[in-house]
């Protein structure tokens, strides 16, 4: 496993609970992070993203008035006001049903961390976004990290992914397959 110098990592924590922000900050600080920003609301988070060089966003799902899903969609919309629409977003949540995970993925969340928050869980998600970043997909209806994570090495059907991806950066996919993905 690679060694990372987390003192070079800049993180934005977005959570309406001051205690959750403190907990995440304490864990990140112990990892070695020194550039830690935090925001109690989505609006404030957008301000921090516009004004600072942030590498990773860690955000809560349930916030008011703007929740984590809405904030993710704004970041991914890439309307020019957010410097990096590809920024890794790690979502913290107590929602652990498959529907919720799919909703988060649909919004453009990169990684999903189920509460309770632990150093081990946070480290594994950070390592994931650093070492194995997801490629991005842009379609007429979606922009965000590729939602397919499963290793397809056991797949024995016709190749529909790698061969085309290596040859060109754009590929075609029929409507039906896209809807099923």
Q: Closer to other proteins by CB, 64 or 79: give it.
A: 64
User: What tokens appear for 123 in the block?
Assistant: 């480290």
Q: What distances in angstroms separate CA 114 from CA 60, 77, 81, 119, 162, one per listed residue?
A: 10, 25, 30, 12, 31
* Least CB distance to other proteins at residue 24 (A): 9
* Least CB distance to other proteins at residue 39 (A): 16
User: What tokens appear for 162 in the block?
Assistant: 């790698």
What residue ranges bind other proteins (CB under 8 A)?
Answer: 2-6, 8-9, 16-17, 19-20, 22-23, 26-27, 29-32, 55-56, 60-64, 86, 88, 92-95, 97, 99-100, 115-120, 123, 129-131, 133, 135-140, 146, 157, 165, 169-178
Torsion of CA 60, 65, 97, 100, to 10 degrees: -100
Q: Closer to other proteins by CB, 92 or 107: give it.
A: 92
Q: Closer to other proteins by CB, 46 or 63: give it.
A: 63
* Least CB distance to other proteins at residue 172 (A): 4
Buried (b) or exposed (e) across 6-18, using 16+ Cβ within 10 A? beebebbbbbbee
Q: Closer to other proteins by CB, 48 or 101: give it.
A: 101
For residues 85 and 75, the answer to whether their CB atoms sit within 8 Å is yes
* Least CB distance to other proteins at residue 150 (A): 17
* Least CB distance to other proteins at residue 34 (A): 13
Tell me which residue of 70, 63, 144, 77 sits closest to 109, measured CA to CA.
144
Q: Closer to other proteins by CB, 79 or 174: give it.
A: 174
CA distance 69 to 62: 9
């Amino acid at each position: 496993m690679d060694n990372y110098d987390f003192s070079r990592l800049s993180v934005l924590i977005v959570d309406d609970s001051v205690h959750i922000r403190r907990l995440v900050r304490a864990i990140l600080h112990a990892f070695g992070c020194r550039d830690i920003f935090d925001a109690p609301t989505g609006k404030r988070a957008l301000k921090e993203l516009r004004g600072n060089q942030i590498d990773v966003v860690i955000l809560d799902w349930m916030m008011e008035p703007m929740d984590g899903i809405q904030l993710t969609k704004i970041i991914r919309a890439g309307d020019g006001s957010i410097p990096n629409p590809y920024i890794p977003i790690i979502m913290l949540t107590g929602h652990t049903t498959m529907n919720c995970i799919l909703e988060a993925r649909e919004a453009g969340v990169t990684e999903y961390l189920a509460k309770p928050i632990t150093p081990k869980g946070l480290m594994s998600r950070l390592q994931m976004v650093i070492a194995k970043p997801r490629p991005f997909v842009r379609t007429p209806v979606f922009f965000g990290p590729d939602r397919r994570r499963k290793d397809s090495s056991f797949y024995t059907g016709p190749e529909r992914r790698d061969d085309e991806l290596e040859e060109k950066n754009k590929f075609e996919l029929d409507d039906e397959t896209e809807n099923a993905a």
